[in-house]
A and B are shown apart, each in its own frame.
Chain A
Amino acid sequence: GQQVMQIPQYQHVQEGEDFTTYCNSSTTLSNIQWYKQRPGGHPVFLIQLVKSGEVKKQKRLTFQFGEAKKNSSLHITATQTTDVGTYFCARGGGADGLTFGKGTHLIIQP
């Protein structure tokens, strides 16, 4: 299936700093989903973006969908230790179901 590229692979931040992960596709996305997996846990659905240029917020998390629907980002403001984990984007609607990026591991230093 069509790949989604996610960067960076790892991100170390000090607690209180901001964090951003990016998801890019070479083809137009019908929608993009974001998931969070805590260490030792399973992926948990965060949000789905469908419209071009869409921006959605969940407390300190801001999700954006690009105007061309080929990229997306997740931004966390003032990270906390509870934000630790791996953040995955996933493209949906294709013939092979949901395709996940490789994820960004967020490591927070107190």
Chain B
Amino acid sequence: EAGVTQSPTHLIKTRGQQATLRCSPISGHTSVYWYQQALGLGLQFLLWYDEGEERNRGNFPPRFSGRQFPNYSSELNVNALELEDSALYLCASSLSTQGGSPLHFGNGTRLTVT
């Protein structure tokens, strides 16, 4: 069974540009989560999608947005990039939102903003 896949692995952008990160969940998983992890820090919750709908978003500005497609894959967009957006962006998928099903994480996209 293929795991959660994220692309690209690394992304280098300059301040003010836009970044698009992609995630494919494990087959059969309908929930997709996005987390930001700055170097050495914890997991900051960004967005949660389930069945194509945005279920919740973390305490991030509106320039962080995303969507979930009919095949449950997801995209995270970050507009007007700032230097402090440099971080590892992790996507995770789960079978169901009921009862807090375990999350399966991808390897992440390392975003560097210069």
Asked whether A93 lies within 8 Å of B100 as measured between CB atoms, the reply is yes
Q: Which of B16-57 contact A (CB under 8 A)?
A: 31, 33, 35, 41-43, 45, 48, 55-56
Interface size class of A (residues with CB under 8 A): 20 to 34
Residues of chain A with a CB closer than 8 A to B94's CB: 98
Name the one of B98, B102, B106 contacting A45, with C-beta atoms under 8 angstroms: B102
- The 9 residue pairs across chains A and B that have the minimum distance between CB atoms: A92-B100, A93-B100, A102-B42, A42-B105, A45-B102, A96-B56, A100-B43, A97-B48, A43-B105
Q: How far is the CB of A1 from chain B (nearest CB, A)?
A: 8
Tally of A-B residue pairs with Cβ under 8 A? 65
Chain B residue with minimal CB distance to A48? B102
Chain B residue with minimal CB distance to A105? B40
| B107 CB-CB contact with A under 8 Å | yes
Asked whether B42 lies within 8 Å of A42 as measured between CB atoms, the reply is no
Q: Which of B49-70 contact A (CB under 8 A)?
A: 55-56
| Bound CA span A60–B42, Å | 25
Q: Is the interface of A mostly helix, strand, loop or mixed?
A: strand
Residues of chain B with a CB closer than 8 A to A96's CB: 45, 48, 55-56
The 8 A CB mask of A34-67 against B (1 = contact, 0 = none) is 0100000111110010000000000000000000
Residues of chain B with a CB closer than 8 A to A42's CB: 90, 105-108
Asked whether B102 lies within 8 Å of A88 as measured between CB atoms, the reply is no
Residues of chain A with a CB closer than 8 A to B104's CB: 45
Q: Known pairs A33-B100, A103-B43; list 12 more (Cβ under 8 Å).
A: A1-B45, A33-B102, A35-B103, A43-B92, A96-B45, A96-B48, A98-B94, A100-B35, A100-B42, A101-B42, A102-B42, A103-B42
